[in-house]
Amino acid sequence: MPADNNKVAIGADHAGLEFKALIRDQLIRLGFQYVDAGAPEGTERVDYPIVAADVAKLIQNGECVYGVLTCGTGLGMSMAANRFRSIRAANCSNEAMARLARAHNDANVLTLGQRLLGPDLALSILEVFLTTPFEGGRHQGRLSLFN
């Protein structure tokens, strides 16, 4: 169930545009709103750090609670997003990673690799990520070390 602020920032570079469209549709099915931070469909080339920065800023300013970024592998987006304070981006390739990223690390950005994952798996990872709560407890102290 979406939180009070149920907006998710989504973004992709040219290698993740197909997944971005699937993610948008899945967010709607799950009851989330979204803010599209680029790149526009049909874009031939875009630098992923720019899109990752736009998504990070939407989370930092409180407009969105989560972000989802897609590129070829998910790695570049994860590295770029993690440069921003209070962003905890996790590049997940299966549901277990998504569950643990949320439950133990309170990840607020999911990155996915369109060239490495099938669409059904990517959407399953997304659903697990968005529906898994942060456990807090012993994990909270570790998160405090980031600041």
Q: Given 64, 71, 92, 139, which residue is catalytic? A: 71
With a CB cutoff of 8 Å and minimum separation 6, the contacts of 72 are 13, 15, 16, 113, 114, 115, 116
Collapse the DSSP code of 2 into the 3-class scheme (helix H, G, I; strand E, B; otherwise coil) and give the result. coil
pLDDT tops 90 at residue 110: yes
**Mean pLDDT, the chain, whole residue set:** 90
pLDDT tops 90 at residue 11: yes
Collapse the DSSP code of 97 into the 3-class scheme (helix H, G, I; strand E, B; otherwise coil) and give the result. helix
92 catalytically annotated: no
pLDDT tops 70 at residue 88: yes
pLDDT of 39 reads: 81
104 catalytically annotated: yes
With 0-12 / 13-18 / 19 or more C-beta atoms within 10 angstroms meaning exposed / middle / buried, residue 49 is middle
Instruction: For residue range 19-59, list pLDDT tens digits in order.
Output: 999 999 999 999 999 999 988 777 788 899 999 999 999 99
Q: Given 14, 64, 92, 104, which residue is catalytic? A: 104
pLDDT tops 60 at residue 3: no
pLDDT of 139 reads: 62
pLDDT tops 60 at residue 2: no
What is the Cα gyration radius of the chain? 14
Give the pTM: 0.91
pLDDT of 4 reads: 55
With a CB cutoff of 8 Å and minimum separation 6, the contacts of 73 are 91, 113, 115, 116
Options 3.40.1400.10, 3.30.930.10, 3.90.1310.10, 3.40.190.10; CATH of 7-144: 3.40.1400.10
pLDDT of 138 reads: 66
With a CB cutoff of 8 Å and minimum separation 6, the contacts of 19 are 12, 70, 112, 114, 117, 119, 122
Question: What distance lies between CA 135 and its chain's CA centroid?
Answer: 19
SS3 content of the chain, % helix, strand, coil (to 5): 45, 15, 35
pLDDT tops 60 at residue 1: no
